[in-house]
Amino acid sequence: MDKKSQGYMNVKDADPDIIIDLKYATPDNFTGKIVYDFDQAIARIDTVKS
């Protein structure tokens, strides 16, 4: 089952011009290390469309 059918979507699909800054997906955070192993913002469809 894909994420959309589960009620989630990629934020960039709603607005490709939106700036996504996932600090924990880069070493530019308080740990100095990459914490997340992904670089896409996925959120609930209702949240993205708000």
Q: What angle do CA 5, 18, 9 make, to 5 degrees?
A: 5
Specify the pLDDT at position 49.
85
Please give the residue range of the domain that contains residue 23.
4-48
Tally the domains of the chain: 1
Q: What is the pTM of this model?
A: 0.69
Dihedral class, residue 11 (left if φ above 0, else alpha if ψ from -120 to 50, else beta) = alpha
Separation CA 36–CA 18 (nearest Å) = 20
Specify the pLDDT at position 9.
93
pLDDT digits (tens, 9 = 90+) for 9-46: 999 999 999 999 999 999 999 999 999 988 899 999 99
